[in-house]
Structure 1
Amino acid sequence: MPVAERRYVALLPAAGSGSRMASSTPKQYLDLAGAPVIRHTIAAFVNHPVINQVVVVISQEDEWFTSHDWQFAAGKLTVLRCGGSSRAESVRNGLFHLADTLMDADWVLVHDAARPCLAQSELSRLLTNLAEDAVGGILAVPVADTLKRADAGQRIAGTVSRDAMWQAQTPQMFRYGILSQALAGELDADITDEASAVERLGLQPKLVPGSVRNLKITYPADLALADMIIRSQSAQ
């Protein structure tokens, strides 16, 4: 299939509750620079000319999404209420609902709903590096800090070499056929991201250099840092 005919779909699993944020509101709906976190995330893909569609997978009980205005994404945004109990299940459910619209060679970019600081340059770098790749890959950054392995008492049990170690980010970009195959069957707990599922097929996803600014909001302090990054990007 010619490159121009391939579809590029961003899939955002957004059914999680974000328990570590200590908030009754899921973290993807917390305010960030005057808008919900997930709005910034969606906008990063809607604004990129290569992305054909942005699919958000939410839970059936989600009461927050429809309370916001999504007109800015009209024409590209699709919302599916088929979120599962895990990230992997939500992604698999989303892929199932897209089965009639995607070919095996089409690209799916899975991205954390609570990772709102993705720059257009980083997204373009991923798309360019993987456009003709046989497997696909992920944005990631080399580990800079010393790594410690803890024991049951939270004491240092050893120092882990950081040589050749990378911290995985998203988007994680794979062809629809490969990703669907990787997430078929039983979803074990060790499938923590799409790359780990693809690795179980015996494939080696490519590491594409990302940025530390592409942070995932996990703890309350992350919101303040994300706010500074978003405002800095807007000022450029």
Structure 2
Amino acid sequence: MQGDTTASDRPCDPRCFLNSAGGQDEGNTGHGAVDFPVAVVLPAAGCGERMGLTTPKQFCTFLNRPLISYTIESFEKISWIKTIVVVVAKESHELMLHIVKTFRHTKVKVVEGGTSRHRSIFNGLQVLTESTEGSSLPRPKVVIIHDAVRPFVEEDFLLKITLAAKEQGAVGAIRPLVSTVIATTSESYLDHSLERAKYRASEMPQGFLFDIIHQAYQLCSEFDFEFGTECLHLALQYSGTNAKLIEGPPTLWKVTYKRDLAAAESVIKETLSLSACLISGTMAETVELASKVQKNLAAHDMAVDVFSCAKEYKELLLSKTRNFIQITVGGGRLSDIAELIKLLEETNHALLYPVVIIWVHLYMSEEQSHRQKPDELTPIMDLAVKAKQGNILLYGIQVIHSKVPELWEKSAERLSELTAALIRDRNPAFTGQLLQA
């Protein structure tokens, strides 16, 4: 069965995830190797009882998106995957269609599931058999079956699964067991334990030649439909195909409990905070500050590209990150920030992940009277409210230029710390405020 990994099997380093988080082109790792049609079936009709929530876990939202949208994106960004069949409960059909439309998932076909996991998978496979010549759903050579609540599947591993499925007929991901498995007596005493080194946890994704898995489902029993959990076993029992097993990365963990949603959000936030673009302007002081911030943020594992002007490098800006820092002198021109927000909205850059803009107000005098007055913050707050509706988080940080080198260095360090924290946390509660560095 598809075993649930434990907390100790959570990924330690999420930097390999979300290859498209900075806006790169969709994946091409297997573009030459996969010259046959590949489809994905995502069973998502479960109610998520173990989550303890009224909303099924696949529809639980973090960072303004439901979990299932992140999983879909993992497949949709891969150029050689052409079709993603999402199987949902009847009562969730309209919700799923809304998600597809809202987040512009272009490869998805939504179908209604059955009363069990295997019935739902079979419904998904049946849709692919109904394709005709010229249909938008070509009958696949290989089909990948994956859990809708495992959002961090990587393209290189999917390529291994796909090629092995074409060669072997069936293939499944496995992971080492992290705990010893024991059997108990009816009185709750130890009966015996298994030798852990001989066993593995069966995970997702699993890949099959389409004809093999479809035949298995056509022949399987009612008992299998109602109580079975392992697709690989069906392929072996009813199609005579013994699956190749490939050890998968620790990123295959499954969102099962509430804490797993928080873990998934943390993974994505950390990944999104790995890069930023800083727009410095051309004044000597702003260029100097940009250099200090760039150096300091490197200590927070954040790569920062510095540009003098947003307009001149707008295509390059959008290709690199979802975090932007703009330094202006004094109150600066709000129109510059408004133009950046407009650019992000026009390009849908914030559609899938929240974008952060940090507006740095550099004041050239240490006099308190030269700082931004409270009544002057209203336009900034109004713009932040409007931007937040488009999934863009606008923050302000005020920093005072000091002629004393030690104080100036300290202000730059404080600015960098605030910037790193705002980018990492992506907290909407602080938008529109002007923090003091």
Answer whether TM exceeds 0.5 for this pair: yes
* Amino acid paired to 1:195: L
Once structures 1 and 2 are overlaid, which stretch shifts more, 37-46 or 144-153? Answer: 144-153
> CA offsets, 1:178-235, max 9 Å, x none?
0111112424255212112112133211111212221111122222222233334445
Across the two proteins, how many residue pairs are aligned to each other?
A: 231
Query: What residue number does 1:57 align with?
Result: 87
* Amino acid paired to 2:254: K
Q: For 2:155 and 2:42, how far apart are their aligned partners in 1? A: 17
Once structures 1 and 2 are overlaid, which stretch shifts more, 60-69 or 138-147? Answer: 60-69
Q: After the TM superposition, which residues 62-211 of structure 1 pair with which residues of structure 2 at under 5 Å, given as runs?
A: 62=92, 63-68=94-99, 70=101, 72-81=103-112, 83-101=113-131, 102-103=138-139, 106-128=141-163, 130=164, 132-185=166-219, 186-187=221-222, 188=224, 189=226, 191-201=228-238, 202-211=240-249
**TM-score of the superposed pair, with normalisation by structure 2:** 0.49
Query: What residue number does 2:52 align with?
Result: 22
Q: For 1:141 and 1:235, how far apart are their aligned partners in 2? A: 29
Greater RCO between the two (CA within 8 Å, min separation 6)?
1
Q: For 1:157 and 1:224, how far apart are their aligned partners in 2? A: 37
Q: Which runs of 5+ in 2 are unaligned?
A: 1-32, 132-137, 275-437
* Amino acid paired to 1:144: V
Q: For 2:75 and 2:188, how far apart are their aligned partners in 1? A: 40
Q: For 1:151 and 1:211, how far apart are their aligned partners in 2? A: 34
Q: 1:32 to 1:71 in 2, by over 3 A?
A: closer
Q: For 1:206 and 1:234, how far apart are their aligned partners in 2? A: 35
Which of 233, 246, 257 is the aligned partner of 1:219? 257
Query: What residue number does 2:411 align with?
Result: none
* Amino acid paired to 1:9: A
The structure having more radius of gyration, on CA atoms, is 2
User: Please, what is the CA RMSD of the aligned residues?
Assistant: 2.3
1:171 Cα offset (Å):
1.2
Question: 1:117–1:229: 8 Å Cα contact kept in structure 2?
Answer: no
Q: 1:43 to 1:179 in 2, by over 3 A?
A: same
1:35 Cα offset (Å):
1.4
Q: For 1:234 and 1:153, how far apart are their aligned partners in 2? A: 50
Please identify which structure carries the higher helix content. Answer: 2
Q: For 1:141 and 1:22, how far apart are their aligned partners in 2? A: 26
Question: 2:174–2:247: 8 Å Cα contact kept in structure 1?
Answer: yes
**TM-score of the superposed pair, with normalisation by structure 1:** 0.87
Query: What residue number does 1:40 align with?
Result: 70
Q: For 1:96 and 1:69, how far apart are their aligned partners in 2? A: 21
Q: For 1:135 and 1:79, how far apart are their aligned partners in 2? A: 26
Q: Secondary structure at the match of 1:163?
A: helix
Q: Secondary structure at the match of 2:235?
A: helix
Question: 1:112–1:170: 8 Å Cα contact kept in structure 2?
Answer: yes
